[in-house]
């Protein structure tokens, strides 16, 4: 059978673009790719990149205060969202163009259209065109989830934050995951009055309990009005703003409401089930270790598979797919010991097991310390850094590393290399400290604070 393409990719995000580029430029395949919105996907257009730029912007308010404490005569008139928004738009346009050029230079044919599956080898574009392919890769990512309740249509999601015409003076953020907590810190740093509601007992569910508590305390001290065990009953539009009524009986009137209550795989309306592709609960595409679905010619990578929903993981999955299918180099993406960072203020970097998960698997030792870092102590701030290692009592391997500190994301990347190599606590101990730094505490903790 003759096909229009060897590979057709649905989705122009990081995972799909990587797979397309490798298959075409290195695998010699004829590749087509369809993206219905903007090339670059969630991370580049409405996620990691613009969010991190907002993190940078929000940190300057604290940096100005520190500068005064260090003797600088600093005067600031406030944050101008319009200036930042214009530069942000320009940067995202530049990045999207770079993604398009990457595809073009690799010989990939890009279609600015929505693609849906017709059968295991056929896609239909929203332009009306029908195309066939030997293999189809679904890389459509995820989308924000907002539950149904009275007034839910008045809430915005993380997708909308970067498109705001003006900065609200006050906001209610609903959710306790990393997106909710990051935007609470960002907007707080930009001078917005932030109230955050989370229905659970503690924010950042799934992360290390000690780190979660440390971050929650720091957020409150920095000015975020954080309420746990609280949910929203309804949102009402009034002349004074949006009135948010909570399960606690309290009501808050604010300029905006941001819902960050999770994300769902972006699999609806793609024709997956009609083509025979099995879905998991919640709509994620079921795949094996090779990212192959229940239909042999159809594969899926990234957040739409709901494995580890991180951009670098999607890229690795896309690379592994093309290595396997088009370069005769069988490769499975490695999902073990993936470092990650939560860009709260302070940041949280983690790799490996939480203390709670590790102690369920066998005897462990926990090494931890909390201290005031030199930079903020001199400035008169009371914030504390947390450094924590979870060690297997039998093998002495470091099972988990958790850092809550400024630039924790930079530090956890390097710790992740050591852990991936199987480093033991004694390997950490033999490493000479870099002084004076926060990270030196990772190699100077000698006695465990507890055993389990």
Catalytic residue annotation: 435
User: Which residues 6+ apart lie within 8 Å of 400 measured at CB?
Assistant: 208, 350, 351, 352, 353, 354, 355, 357, 358, 388, 389, 390
CB 234 within 8 A of CB 148: no
Burial status of residue 403 (CB atoms within 10 A of its CB: 0-12, 13-18, 19 or more): buried
Supply 289's token pair. 């270790």
In the block, tokens 């609960």 appear at 281
Torsion angle, CA of 111/114/116/121, rounded to 10 degrees? 0
Separation between Cα atoms, residue 265 and residue 232, nearest integer Å: 24
Separation between Cα atoms, residue 38 and residue 155, nearest integer Å: 23
Separation between Cα atoms, residue 351 and residue 401, nearest integer Å: 5
> In angstroms, how far is the first alpha carbon of the chain from the final one?
61
Separation between Cα atoms, residue 279 and residue 298, nearest integer Å: 13
The total number of residues shown for the chain amounts to 452
Separation between Cα atoms, residue 235 and residue 149, nearest integer Å: 8
User: Which residues 6+ apart lie within 8 Å of 150 measured at CB?
Assistant: 233, 234, 235, 236
Supply 309's token pair. 């929903």
Separation between Cα atoms, residue 36 and residue 87, nearest integer Å: 24
Name 244's bridge partners: 235, 252
Separation between Cα atoms, residue 131 and residue 192, nearest integer Å: 49
Separation between Cα atoms, residue 24 and residue 26, nearest integer Å: 6
Separation between Cα atoms, residue 301 and residue 289, nearest integer Å: 11
| Nearest one of 54, 90, 244 to 167, comparing CA atoms | 54
Separation between Cα atoms, residue 11 and residue 113, nearest integer Å: 10
| Nearest one of 132, 199, 272, 205 to 215, comparing CA atoms | 205
Separation between Cα atoms, residue 1 and residue 152, nearest integer Å: 49
């Amino acid at each position: 059978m003759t096909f229009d393409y060897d590979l057709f990719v649905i989705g122009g995000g990081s995972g799909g673009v990587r797979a397309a580029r490798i298959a075409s430029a290195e695998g010699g395949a004829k590749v087509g790719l369809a993206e219905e919105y903007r090339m670059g996907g969630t991370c580049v257009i409405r996620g990691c990149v613009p969010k991190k730029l907002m993190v940078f912007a929000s940190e300057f308010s604290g940096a100005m205060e520190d500068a005064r404490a260090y003797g600088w005569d600093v005067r600031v008139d406030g944050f101008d969202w319009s200036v930042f928004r214009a530069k942000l738009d320009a940067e995202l346009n530049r990045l999207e163009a770079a993604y398009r050029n990457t595809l073009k230079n690799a010989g990939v044919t890009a279609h600015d259209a929505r693609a849906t599956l017709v059968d295991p080898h056929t896609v239909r574009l929203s332009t009306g065109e029908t195309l066939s392919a030997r293999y189809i890769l679904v890389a459509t990512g995820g989308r924000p989830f907002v539950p149904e309740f009275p007034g839910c249509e008045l809430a915005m999601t993380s997708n909308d934050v970067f498109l705001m015409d003006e900065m609200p003076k006050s906001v209610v953020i609903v959710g306790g995951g990393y997106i909710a907590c990051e935007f609470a810190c960002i907007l707080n740093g930009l001078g917005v009055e932030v109230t955050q509601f989370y229905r659970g007992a503690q924010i950042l569910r799934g992360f290390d309990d000690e780190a979660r508590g440390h971050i929650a305390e720091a957020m409150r001290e920095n000015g975020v009005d954080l309420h746990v065990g609280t949910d929203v009953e309804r949102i009402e539009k009034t002349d004074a703003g949006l009135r948010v009524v909570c399960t606690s009986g309290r009501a808050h009137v604010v300029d905006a409401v941001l819902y960050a209550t999770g994300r769902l795989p972006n699999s609806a309306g793609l024709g997956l089930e009609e083509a025979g592709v099995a879905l998991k609960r919640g709509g994620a595409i079921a795949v094996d270790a090779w990212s192959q679905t229940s239909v042999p010619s159809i594969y899926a990578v990234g957040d739409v598979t709901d494995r580890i929903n991180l951009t670098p993981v999607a890229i690795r999955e896309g690379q592994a797919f093309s290595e396997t299918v088009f370069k005769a180099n069988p490769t499975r993406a490695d999902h073990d010991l993936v470092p990650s960072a939560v860009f709260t203020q302070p940041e949280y970097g983690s790799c490996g097991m939480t203390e709670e998960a590790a102690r369920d698997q066998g005897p462990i030792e926990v090494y931890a310390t909390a201290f005031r870092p030199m930079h903020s102590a001199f400035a008169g701030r009371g914030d504390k850094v947390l450094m924590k290692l979870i060690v297997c009592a039998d093998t002495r391997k470091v099972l988990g590393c958790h850092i809550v500190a400024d630039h924790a994301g930079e530090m956890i990347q390097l710790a992740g290399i050591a852990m991936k190599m199987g480093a033991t606590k004694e390997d950490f101990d033999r490493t000479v400290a870099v002084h004076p730094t926060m990270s030196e505490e990772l190699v100077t903790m000698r006695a465990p604070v507890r055993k389990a």
